[in-house]
Amino acid sequence: MRQSWRFLVRDWRSGELWLLVLSLLMAIAVSTAIALFSDRLQLALGRQVAEVLGADLMIRSPRPLKNEVTDQARSLGLQSTTVLEFPSVVLAGEDMHLVSAKAVQEAYPLRGYMRAADQPFTPDRQISDTPKPGEAWLEPRLFPLLNVKIGDQVQLGETELTITRSITLETDRGGDFYSLSPRLLFNMADVEKTEIIQPGSRVNWKTLFAGDNNQLQSFRKWTDGKLESNERLVMADDSRRDLRNSVVRLRQFLGLASMAAILLAGVAVAMASRRFAERRFDTCAVMRCVGASRKQVVSVLLGELFLVALLVTLPGVLLGWGLQAGVVSLLKGVLPAWLPEAGFVPMLVGGATGIITLAGFGLAPLLRLHGVSPLRVLRRELTPAPPASWLVYTLSLVAMAALLWYHTGELVMTVIIVLTSGIVLMAVSMGIQALLLGFSRRAGISSIPYSWRLGLRRIVQERGKTSAQLLAFSLTFMAMAIVLVLRTDLFDRWQDKLPEDTPNYFAINIQPSEVDEYREFLDSNGIDSSELYPIVRGRLVKINGEEVRKAVSKEQRLHNSLNRELNLTWSPELPDTNKLIEGRWWKSGSKKGLSVEQELAENLGIKMGDQLTFMVSGQEFSQAVTSIRQVEWESFQPNFYMIFPEAVLEELPATWLNSFYLPEEDKVQLNALITSFPTMTLLDLDSVIGQVRKMLAQSTLAVEAMLFALLVAGLLVLASVIESSIDERLQEGALIRSLGGTRRQLILMQAGEFILFGGLSGVLAVVGAEFCSYWLNTRVFELNWQPAYWMWISLPVAGATVIGTAGWMGVRRVIRRAPVSVLSAV
């Protein structure tokens, strides 16, 4: 180790280590920054999903939770609050209306916020308090229905409450909105005064919990087997599929960007390590001449590599922490307001990434030093043969794959990227080199313009070296192209699902006798709406003739669809936001058929042909599953678990559902709509949609930050590849100059070589990017895939331009160095 330290100091002073140190520093910094930033952002976005639930975790129950459960939550450091919901009738003078009454405590909500206005249908604001004892907050639509105003009193049970505000948003009201009545919010202290809650009353208790992830997971694990059969635990990630799917895709994309950046940093380390080893051939030969054994030679240089890793890891981790802190500071105004503090685990992973990268990609080149002969002192052309290092590279790839899997959490994505980058690109690269070799043999090198000859000769005659360089360039462009293509596809999907005219109101409980009048109202007022869907409330009671709770497993019994009535509907056509996975849609007039949503089918083990039995208003009927659908829950369009042909449900009692878009300036029309249809329930989703749009805008900026990190890693790869061949280029340049070549000729030859490399790497990158984007779109992100035709022209041109320019800037010293200084050193 002492000798290794002397070598380290000497090499550092001579500038031999700067490229390796810079590459390793960047590998550690980039991986640490991305790990920290993505971890913090994912937790923050997860909290935004929790804001829609009002908590990180919720337990629904028909009665208050046992003290044992709440005491355990308190002992783990979780915050908690209790909410009570129940249907009731509210009175205001001679008017009355059915409401969904909700009693809350002062700490409500634990996540997110409420919005309220001083008058109904006026601009609202975010609030941090709750109704005081004796107060009630009403939804805007209740004011015209009860003919009341702010300051009036309403009677709930045996107590009177004073109306003080108009509530417009409750964070935890975005779930099952089909069964919601107009909201009346009041204080939990007034529940006993109402005398409404009696033994046997139909009420819904919700206990909300909030805390960090470790606390929540510990509490969730503790509750296994301790909750009653009618108590249901809900995590924030499971509560809203419309938000959950977007967050999941963002996490996958951040994982992909992390993988690409780490892979590029690894390539930079590999190229720098190769140069580090090749420049020590002569040193090893001299050491062998003075009596050092092969083991001693390799041990000293491995020790130097170990010291480099040891000294660079801590500064790299600190630099990565500073990078992510800088990004967070720059994006402070648009990132989520709450970001968790950076943890130690991402820092450890970032440091481990750099060390594993150095060991994986730097060890194999150093193994060549084991075969250096003492005769190299006299015969410089004696280069040690590559060792049987395939095992080292294999183990390195496995270690990198495991590390990338940890970063992304996506096994399929990791396998696709690793296999494509390693196998497909190498195969295509060898194929291109074979074609160029055949072309040069048939046409002859002399027939090619001299500015291209050096590059073509290097590719044809030095296939081992050029394969590594070509692969490095190709990986750089491929990684950036994949991330750019998927970024565009992802943003297009988000924009398509949330256009400006996304329905922001849902009208439910429309009576059959009011359907025509309701349609006429929308048409006469120019309100853009979706189709009207019938809603039949029914329970799933049997699967293949067996009682449903016996037909499914214990875990499946907890699924929400088995603990409540489902919303059944009929439709002659497949809804626009649905996609058939299995089976066929029924023909018009069909009297048999049932289409089941894919997630529900998977969770309950329902397959094509299964006979499902439903109970509606005391009547049972059965249908066989004829198709399974994939539903885009994030579209904010009406979606359903079960869809039937009209003939199956037309005789059953139904109400109707509709969604429509109403701009801010036209919301005064809601007064007339509510007055015209007093039995209809109107749900305002404007605030929820705004929250989703804000989250997606923040996601966009996070992705852009990832692209910048990827660009830095790509530039580092270019510098590493150019620097790895600079010694050879200096010798070639000196020979050409000494034989009468001009500087202009040398410039054209060097630039031509890099332009050729850039064009070929662009072609390779297109092939790899198309292959990867196809598999990632169809297998991971569940997006539609289309060939990126623009890449087939732009990527080779961009590769030739970027690498040609970078190569020319990197090899200018070849032109500036006097031939005598280079040749005398040889």
Report which secondary-structure segment, H or E, holds 439. helix 425-443
Query: What residue has token string 């890099």?
Result: 754
Strand partners, 580: 629
Last residue within a domain, chosen from 154, 176, 203: 203
Report which secondary-structure segment, H or E, holds 505. strand 505-510
Which tens digits make up the pLDDT trace of 531-553? 888 999 899 999 998 988 888 87
With cut-offs at 50, 70 and 90, classify the pLDDT of residue 178: very low
CA distance 18 to 14: 9
Tell me what pLDDT residue 357 has. Answer: 73
CA distance 329 to 239: 31
With vertex at residue 484, the alpha carbon angle to CA 478 and CA 800, rounded to the nearest 5 degrees, is 45
Tell me what pLDDT residue 496 has. Answer: 63
| Contacts of residue 594, Cβ cutoff 8 Å, sequence gap at least 6 | 612, 623, 624, 625, 626, 627, 642, 643, 644, 648
Q: Are residues 632 and 711 in the same domain?
A: no
Q: For residue 664, give Cα distances in angstroms to 120, 122, 578, 652, 686.
A: 14, 10, 29, 38, 9
Tell me what pLDDT residue 724 has. Answer: 66
pLDDT at 241 over 60: no
Count CB atoms within 10 A of the CB of residue 438.
11
**Collapsing DSSP states into helix, strand and coil, what is residue 510?**
strand
CA distance 776 to 770: 10
CA distance 97 to 92: 9
CA distance 33 to 50: 25
Which tens digits make up the pLDDT trace of 733-771? 777 777 777 777 777 777 777 788 788 888 888 888 887
For residues 807 and 619, the model is more confident at 619
The answer to whether 717 and 469 are in contact (CB under 8 A) is no
- Rounded to 5 degrees, φ, ψ at 277 are -70, -45
Least confident of 190-194, 279-283, 558-562, 643-647: 558-562
Q: Are residues 400 and 263 in the same domain?
A: yes
CA distance 612 to 547: 10
| Contacts of residue 810, Cβ cutoff 8 Å, sequence gap at least 6 | 718, 719, 722, 723, 726
Tell me what pLDDT residue 594 has. Answer: 94
Structure tokens of 670? 């809601």
| Number of separate domains in the chain | 3
Least confident of 261-265, 439-443, 607-611: 439-443
Q: Are residues 170 and 279 in the same domain?
A: no
Residue type at 413 in one-letter notation: M
Residue type at 382 in one-letter notation: L
CA distance 480 to 487: 10
CA distance 793 to 493: 25
Q: What percent of the chain has pLDDT over 70?
A: 70
Q: Are residues 325 and 472 in the same domain?
A: yes
Q: Are residues 527 and 657 in the same domain?
A: yes
Average model confidence (pLDDT) across the chain: 77
Crossing angle of helices 241-278 and 294-330, in 10° steps, is 140
With cut-offs at 50, 70 and 90, classify the pLDDT of residue 480: confident
For residues 389 and 526, the model is more confident at 526
pLDDT at 90 over 60: yes
- Rounded to 5 degrees, φ, ψ at 185 are -110, 130
Question: Of 496, 495, 502, which is closest to residue 663 (Cα–Cα)?
Answer: 502
Least confident of 28-37, 522-531, 587-596, 734-743: 734-743
Residue type at 33 in one-letter notation: A
Least confident of 171-175, 567-571, 660-664: 171-175
Q: Are residues 519 and 409 in the same domain?
A: no
Contacts within 8 Å (CB) and 24+ apart, 438-441: none
Last residue within a domain, chosen from 138, 170, 203: 203
Query: Considering the domain boundaries, does residue 210 fall inside one?
Result: no
Tell me what pLDDT residue 588 has. Answer: 84
Q: Are residues 723 and 750 in the same domain?
A: yes
The answer to whether 558 and 232 are in contact (CB under 8 A) is yes
Task: List the domain range (segments joined by +) for residue 523.
Answer: 505-684
Tell me what pLDDT residue 179 has. Answer: 41
The answer to whether 641 and 597 are in contact (CB under 8 A) is yes
Give the mean model confidence (pLDDT) for residues 193-218.
Answer: 85
CA distance 361 to 554: 49
**Collapsing DSSP states into helix, strand and coil, what is residue 570?**
strand
Q: Are residues 411 and 468 in the same domain?
A: yes
Count CB atoms within 10 A of the CB of residue 224.
8
pLDDT at 450 over 70: no
Strand partners, 682: 507
* Helical H segments across 54-124, by residue range: 67-75
Q: Are residues 325 and 369 in the same domain?
A: yes
CA distance 496 to 492: 6
The burial class, CB within 10 Å (0-12 / 13-18 / 19+), for 582 is: middle
Give the mean model confidence (pLDDT) for residues 166-173.
Answer: 78
Question: Of 65, 35, 100, which is closest to residue 682 (Cα–Cα)?
Answer: 100
CA distance 38 to 327: 11
Q: How far is CA 643 from the centre of its chain?
A: 31
**Collapsing DSSP states into helix, strand and coil, what is residue 168?**
strand
Last residue within a domain, chosen from 151, 178, 203: 203
Structure tokens of 73? 């939550």
Cα dihedral 730, 736, 740, 743, rounded to 10, equals -60
The answer to whether 525 and 669 are in contact (CB under 8 A) is yes
CA distance 129 to 107: 8
Q: Are residues 552 and 478 in the same domain?
A: no
Least confident of 286-290, 329-333, 351-355, 628-632: 329-333
Query: What residue has token string 């044992």?
Result: 68
Give the mean model confidence (pLDDT) for residues 371-395.
Answer: 59
Structure tokens of 821? 């200084």
pLDDT at 36 over 60: yes
pLDDT at 66 over 80: yes
Q: Are residues 462 and 483 in the same domain?
A: yes
Query: Considering the domain boundaries, does residue 142 fall inside one?
Result: yes
Structure tokens of 319? 């630099």
pLDDT at 177 over 50: no
With vertex at residue 550, the alpha carbon angle to CA 544 and CA 553, rounded to the nearest 5 degrees, is 105
Tell me what pLDDT residue 84 has. Answer: 93
Query: Considering the domain boundaries, does residue 601 fall inside one?
Result: yes
**Collapsing DSSP states into helix, strand and coil, what is residue 621?**
strand
- Rounded to 5 degrees, φ, ψ at 188 are -60, -25
Query: Considering the domain boundaries, does residue 62 fall inside one?
Result: no
Report which secondary-structure segment, H or E, holds 623. strand 619-624
With cut-offs at 50, 70 and 90, classify the pLDDT of residue 182: confident
Tell me what pLDDT residue 125 has. Answer: 87
Tell me what pLDDT residue 175 has. Answer: 43
Give the mean model confidence (pLDDT) for residues 255-270.
Answer: 70
Q: Are residues 279 and 423 in the same domain?
A: yes
Query: Considering the domain boundaries, does residue 218 fall inside one?
Result: no
Query: Considering the domain boundaries, does residue 413 fall inside one?
Result: yes
Q: Which residues of 477-502 are buried (b: 16+ CB within 10 A; e: fewer)?
A: bbbbbbbbbbbebbeebbeebbeeeb
